[in-house]
Structure 1
């Protein structure tokens, strides 16, 4: 999967071609460090003084590199796709190889950091259901009252939580239709285009 880089992002990464390869390597280390601990404006100012450039240029370069590495790691971009994605930036072959090396060395660590940043939401573990039908009663003869009872077990970290839900079959049928419609919408070209732009 190729990365789609915006013009602004390409402009920010363009700063990397103006500095030495050792500086790009240091920027890569700083970018990974910022993912762990957050950004530090003093580092930008110090690097800007050493390079005799505005601190904003250094900040944009590091943030652009951080975005490139995180998006690549998040999407598990292959080596070939990463090289093709970086090729549009017009960098030298040496700089392209350096960026690839930075990505390959830090991909696993960046994915671990992103995994820790993601919110921990409960997810499906098991579902049990039962159909109850009251065939008749003395008060209401000839009336059926079916109900569906669901026991939804959710996994929330190491623990399991159960939720008991009860509904009638027509509401359950409506819910199933809405979920099927949502899944069908997810496969539409418009939705895929939106999801691709969000990533």
Structure 2
């Protein structure tokens, strides 16, 4: 799988050939710290002062490198695919090798950092339901509407989390038909084309 780099991303990485190979390695270290702890303007200012360039150039270079490493690690691309992906940037062979070395050294760490950043979403486990109907009453003259009470059991960060929902049958039928229509729309070629472009 090859990475598709946007024009903005290519522009951010275009700063890398202008610096020494050791600086590119330092940018890789800063990018890894960026993933772990977030960005630090002081680090950008110090690096920009040493290199004699604008702070924005250093920031864009580090963010571009971080994005390249994060996307490559997320998709677990091979070394050959990584090299083919960075070839479009037009860097020298030496710089491509440095980027490959950074990727090889840090892709395991980056994957573990990315897995910690993803919030754990609750997932469906079970559904319990009950139909409540009042059969007769002398005090109620109008029609009695039955209620459907559902307990949705979820798994996730908190085990055994449950949500209690209550609705009348007509609203439940409308909800079911809307969900079925959404599932049918997902099977259309137009929706599949959009999903393919999102991935």
User: What TM bracket, shorter-length normalisation?
Assistant: 0.7 to 0.9
Structure 1, 65-74 or 113-122: larger mean CA deviation:
113-122
State the SS of the aligned residue for 1:157: coil
Task: Determine whether 1:71 maps to 2:57.
Answer: no
Q: CA deviation at 1:184?
A: 4.1
State the SS of the aligned residue for 1:125: strand
Structure-2 change in CA distance of 1:39 and 1:178 (3 Å): same
Aligned to 1:109: 109
Aligned-residue Cα RMSD (Å) equals: 3.1
1:20-31 equivalent positions in 2, closer than 5 A: 20-31=20-31
Q: CA deviation at 1:106?
A: 1.9
Ranges in structure 1 where 5+ consecutive residues have no aligned partner: none
Aligned to 2:157: 157
Aligned to 1:119: 119
Q: CA deviation at 1:57?
A: 1.8
State the SS of the aligned residue for 1:8: helix
Q: CA deviation at 1:145?
A: 7.4
Q: CA deviation at 1:59?
A: 1.7
If the length of structure 2 is used for normalisation, what is the TM-score? 0.77
Deviations 1:49-105 (A, max 9, x none): 333333322221111101112222333334333222212111122222221222232
Q: Hey, what's the Cα distance between the residues in 2 that align with 1:184 and 1:193?
A: 17
Aligned to 1:91: 91
Q: Hey, what's the Cα distance between the residues in 2 that align with 1:123 and 1:85?
A: 35
Kept after mapping to 2: 8 A contact 1:133/1:145: no
Between the two proteins, the alignment pairs up a number of residues equal to: 193
Deviations 1:5-43 (A, max 9, x none): 221210110111122222111110110011112222222
Aligned to 2:60: 60
Q: Hey, what's the Cα distance between the residues in 1 that align with 2:105 and 2:186?
A: 34
Kept after mapping to 1: 8 A contact 2:13/2:65: yes
Ranges in structure 2 where 5+ consecutive residues have no aligned partner: none
Q: CA deviation at 1:173?
A: 3.8
Q: Hey, what's the Cα distance between the residues in 1 that align with 2:54 and 2:150?
A: 61
Q: Hey, what's the Cα distance between the residues in 1 that align with 2:57 and 2:197?
A: 31
Kept after mapping to 2: 8 A contact 1:133/1:144: no
Q: Hey, what's the Cα distance between the residues in 2 that align with 1:164 and 1:148?
A: 11
Structure 1, 185-194 or 104-113: larger mean CA deviation:
185-194
Q: Hey, what's the Cα distance between the residues in 2 that align with 1:171 and 1:128?
A: 18
